[in-house]
Amino acid sequence: MLSHIIILFVVVLLVSIANGLIEISIENKLGKDCSNSFTIGVISGFVSALLITIPVAIMVDKTTPSAIDVYRNNTELKIQHVIENNDTIQSDTTIVFKNI
């Protein structure tokens, strides 16, 4: 799950930097001075990537039960059995959040 968050951060950062480069290109065509534009674009891209990635990471973390959730009794264990002729053929367990 962490790899998805890192990929999201990198993609947002690259898109922001590309946007800054496009802006520099437009400013050059218009004859404006853009000596600090790339630095500002990189910094704003980094901040944008953080502002988008951190809330997504928090949402992902809250939808997946962890060991502390089990310890704090915020989860319950769902057990599903498939029984034929009094024999358990298949048993599956899932940890889910309790409906509070």
Secondary element (H or E) of residue 76? strand 75-84
10 and 36 assigned to the same domain? yes
User: Are residue 77 and residue 95 in the same domain, yes or no?
Assistant: yes
Residues 1 and 42 in one domain: yes
pLDDT (tens place) for every residue of the chain, 100 residues total: 567 777 777 887 787 777 777 777 777 777 777 667 667 777 777 787 788 778 877 777 666 677 777 778 888 888 888 888 888 888 898 888 887 6
Are residues 9 and 35 both part of a single domain? yes
Average pLDDT taken over every residue of the chain: 77
pTM of the entire predicted model: 0.45
pLDDT at 100: 60
Domains of the chain: total: 2
Residues 38 and 77 grouped into a single domain = no
- Which residues are CB-contacts of 4 (< 8 A; sequence separation ≥ 6)? 60
The residue range of the domain holding 81 is 65-100
